[in-house]
Amino acid sequence: MKQTDFLVIGSGIAGLTYAIKMAGRFPDKKITVVTKAAADETNTKYAQGGIAGVTDFENDSFEKHIEDTLIAGDGLCNPQVVEIVVKEGVQRIRELIEWGAKFDKDADGDYALGMEGGHSEYRILHHKDVTGKEIERTLLEKVKQYPNIEFIKHWFVIELITQHHLGFLVTKSTPDIQCYGVYALNTHNYQIEKILAGTTLLATGGNGQVYRTTTNPSIATGDGVAMVYRAKGRIENMEFIQFHPTALYEPGSGGQAFLITEAVRGDGGILRNRKGEAFMERYDERLDLAPRDIVARAIDSEMKIMGTDHVFLDCRHMDQEKFIHHFPNIYEKCLSIGIDVSKHMIPVAPAAHYSCGGIKTDEWGRTSIRNLYAAGECASTGLHGANRLASNSLLEAMVFGHRAFDEGSKHHVDPLDDALIPDWDAGGTTDPREMILITQSLKELQLIMSDYVGIVRTDVRLERAMKRLDLLWTETEQLYQTTTVSPQLCELRNMISVAFLIVKGAQFRKESRGLHYNTDYPEKSGLLQNIVL
Ligand code: FAD
Ligand code: SIN
């Protein structure tokens, strides 16, 4: 059993921003950061393009960034939250720079700002094409300055502790659900322990692993969303899954798809189909830099028309020296598989990339459960609406990591007495005999989601997906009740819940808006509606 003042689940940009700030404000309090993997194994580490933020006030303005975010969000952004993130984001970027993050500068010493789809100005701060790695490095270095931060790696958080664990009936209509901490599996000794906390922050990141092809690393299994849903908290807008238009097409490579950042198109890269046609002109006047939902759908349509499983990104005409300078990681990766970008086009296809919905929060990161906050990709703050503007997520994670800290620091809550919370009950379970029951179900899940709940949806496909998920759920629950828990089993269970929430959201939304496109309802409805489950 562990007790802490502030518990943080997740060591990406959202969790670490919060932890650093809380540790600085309360040197006498304990902040515990838990991660199920290595400290830096996060979506944050893989971010490429950069952070959007208004730093060039001569050419850019808050109003323009706000407008671009609202346009991308296709009517569903919360304008108040958009204004908060755009305006406060600049302070958060300054802090990150003070903490040691290095962003590229031009010859005059000004920040070399990048361009991405949906942005009307150059405003993306970046560190080559490995911005996330630089940010994660900076934050982990900063954490070391605080002896009151306890960092626990390779512990898998299984469940939120609420009144349910004290023996009370908790339903969606229970008015005052409270979070007292979590049960977590220590994967060093396979014991399940309680971590009791006054305040808990979920910063568990995205859920791309629900799909067969994703840019997300293996940690992105939607655990936070699934835990809140099971604890009867509110989840919002899960149908808005963003597919990145240009993941490197590498058949047979499996696992995480390598991203070709949108900044490559920002610097002049052109999408072409099998015949070599620059097809974006047929889809949107903003061509290759239209918002992501439009570009991903255009690629999907071209692939279907041509009967191919990828299109190409043509960089052959670009200044090669500049390309290598800005995108050294992409250049090396392509070379490693025999693609010289000065001579060959890069094969690319869309891949699941970002979850716009998630745990519903207010403008201070408060969830519907007391003493439980959420920030970063696992949260639905109202910023992204129906489609996230490129490079707005790192910004949002910092702003809401800060806001959750700001609000949480005003209300100190003591952790509950250990004696009140029962230990994890593993009675009646035995060690799993066959891992294939888990691995095969995971493959099925990813196929169902990719084939029926991808970029283009129909009512029939969604109905089929739901029926198959039902079966997977029943089988997995049975396994969960009878076998000792493992991270793989918990992740599968969480991913099935997340998939259910995506399909349910998609079924409720009888329109096409932003990232959700259903051919049975190809138009937007007159109703601006967030779907809360
Ligand atoms: P993460 O950084 O994903 O961290 C999640 C943490 O939660 C991890 O430490 C994980 O181990 C932990 N965790 C999860 N479940 C559990 C559990 N059950 N128990 C214990 N720990 C758990 N956004 C931009 O703005 N700009 C970009 O250029 C950009 N590029 C991207 C490129 C790629 C390839 C990807 C995948 C994403 C990109 N994004 C970008 C999106 C952005 O990186 C993420 O949205 C953001 O980093 C999420 O940060 P986070 O702190 O919310 O979560
Ligand atoms: C990219 O670099 O293309 C990803 C940016 C993002 O997801 O915001």
User: For the residues of 338-356, what is the DSSP string, one character each?
Assistant: T--TTTSPEEEEEEEEEES
* pLDDT at residue 329 is higher than 80: yes
Nearest ligand for residue 381 CA = 1
CA of 205 to the centre of ligand 1 (A): 4
Whether the pLDDT of residue 430 is over 80: the answer is: no
- Residue 11 beta carbon below 6 angstroms from any ligand 1 atom: yes
Which architecture, in CATH terms, is 2-239+356-420? 3-Layer(bba) Sandwich (3.50)
Instruction: Give residue-wise pLDDT tens across range 130-188.
Output: 999 999 999 999 999 999 999 999 999 999 999 999 889 899 999 899 999 999 999 99
What is the C-alpha separation between 296 and 178, in angstroms, rounded? 40
DSSP state letters, 354-403: EES-EEE--TTSB-SSBTEEE-GGGEE-SSSTTSPPTT-HHHHHHHHHHH
Evaluate whether 192 touches 159 at the Cβ level (below 8 Å): no
CA of 391 to the centre of ligand 2 (A): 5
Atom of ligand 1 nearest to the CA of 50: 28
Instruction: Work out the average pLDDT over 63-91.
Output: 97
Residue nearest to atom 10 of ligand 1 (CA): 10
Question: How far is ligand 1, taken at its centre, from the CA of residue 17, in Å?
Answer: 13
Cβ(494) to ligand 1 under 6 A? no
pLDDT tens profile 378-411: 999 999 999 999 999 999 999 999 999 999 999 9
Q: 14: Cβ below 6 Å to ligand 1?
A: yes
Q: Is 49 in the pocket of ligand 2 (CB under 6 A)?
A: yes
**Closest CA relative to residue 512, chosen from 118, 74, 117, 78:** 74
Q: Is 90 exceeded by the pLDDT of residue 431?
A: no
Nearest CA to ligand 1 atom 40: 47
Alpha helices, DSSP H, located in 416-515: 436-452, 459-482, 487-508
Is any atom of ligand 1 closer than 6 Å to the C-beta of 32?
no
Q: How far apart are CA 465 and CA 268, in angstroms?
A: 39
Report the interhelical angle of 131-143 vs 13-25 (nearest 10°).
30
Contact residues for 220 (Cβ-Cβ < 8 A; gap 6+): 43, 205, 206, 207, 208, 209, 214
Query: From CA 351, how far away is CA 257, in angstroms rounded?
Result: 7
Active site residues: 292
- Say if ligand 2 is within 6 A of residue 262 CB: yes
Give the pLDDT confidence of 336-356 residue by residue, as tens digits. 999 999 999 999 999 999 999
- Integer Cα distance of 388 and 429 in angstroms: 42
* Among 76, 74, 47, 136, CA closest to 100: 136
From 205, 158, 216, 213, select the one nearest 185 (Cα to Cα).
158
Whole-number percent of the chain with pLDDT over 90:
92
**Above 80 in pLDDT, residue 254?**
no
- In the chain, helix, strand, coil percent, each to 5? 40, 20, 45
Domain 245-351 falls in which CATH fold?
A: Flavocytochrome C3; Chain A, domain 1 (3.90.700)
Of the pLDDT bands very low, low, confident and very high (cuts 50, 70, 90), residue 1 is confident
**Looking at the CA of 51, which ligand is closest?**
1
State if residue 391 touches ligand 2 by the CB under 6 angstroms criterion: yes
pLDDT value at position 221? Answer: 98
Indicate the length of the chain as a whole number: 533
How far away, in angstroms, is 521 Cα from ligand 1 center?
32
Domain boundaries, the chain: 2-239+356-420, 245-351
- Write down the pLDDT at residue 306: 92
Cβ atoms of residues 71 and 291 within 8 Å: yes
Is residue 390 within 6 Å of ligand 2 at its C-beta?
yes
Query: Atom 47 of ligand 1 has which residue's CA nearest to it?
Result: 44
pLDDT of residue 432 exceeding 80, the answer is no
Query: Which tokens belong to 455?
Result: 């970029």
Which of 130, 131, 262 is the pocket-test mutation for ligand 2 (most atoms within 8 Å of CB)?
262
Indicate if ligand 2 lies below 6 Å from the C-beta of 393: yes
Q: Is 175 helix (H, G, I), strand (E, B) or coil?
A: coil
Whose structure tokens read 């994967």? Answer: 187
Cα(516)–Cα(84) distance, integer angstroms: 26
For residue range 474-533, list pLDDT tens digits in order. 999 999 999 989 999 999 999 999 999 999 999 999 999 999 999 999 999 988 999 999
Span from the CA of 47 to the centroid of ligand 2 (angstroms): 7
Whether pLDDT at 247 is above 90: yes
pLDDT of residue 253: 80
Give the model's confidence band at 212: pLDDT under 50 very low, under 70 low, under 90 confident, else very high: very high
Residue 320 banded pLDDT, cuts 50, 70, 90: very high
- Cα separation, 27 vs 17, whole angstroms: 16
Helix, strand, or coil (residue 248): strand
Ligand 1 centre and the CA of 354: distance in Å? 9
Most ligand 1 atoms within 8 A of CB, residue of 11, 42, 128 to mutate: 42
263 lines ligand 2 (CB under 6 A): yes
> What pLDDT is recorded for position 257?
96
Q: Which two tokens stand for residue 493?
A: 């269970």
pLDDT per residue as tens digits for the range 440-476: 999 999 999 999 999 999 999 999 999 999 999 999 9
Query: How many C-beta atoms lie closer than 10 Å to residue 147's C-beta?
Result: 8
Q: Which of 229-233, 243-247, 387-391, 435-439 has the lowest mean pLDDT?
A: 435-439
DSSP 528: -
N- to C-terminal Cα distance for the chain? 32
In ligand 1, the atom with minimum distance to the C-alpha of 391 is 25
Percent of the chain with pLDDT over 70: 100
Interatomic CA distance for residues 415 and 503, integer angstroms: 37
Q: Are 432 and 483 in contact (CB under 8 A)?
A: yes
Give the ligand with the smallest distance to the CA of 228: 1
Same CATH topology for 2-239+356-420 and 245-351? Answer: no
Estimate to the nearest angstrom the gap between the alpha carbon of 220 and the chain centroid: 7
Residue nearest to atom 8 of ligand 2 (CA): 391
Contact in structure between 206 and 222 (CB atoms under 8 Å): yes
Task: Report the chain's mean pLDDT, rounded to a whole number.
Answer: 95
Is ligand 1 within 6 A of the CB of residue 43?
yes
Torsions phi, psi for 415 (to 5 deg)? -65, 150
Which of the residue ranges 39-53, 412-426, 480-494, 509-523 would you say has the lowest mean pLDDT?
412-426
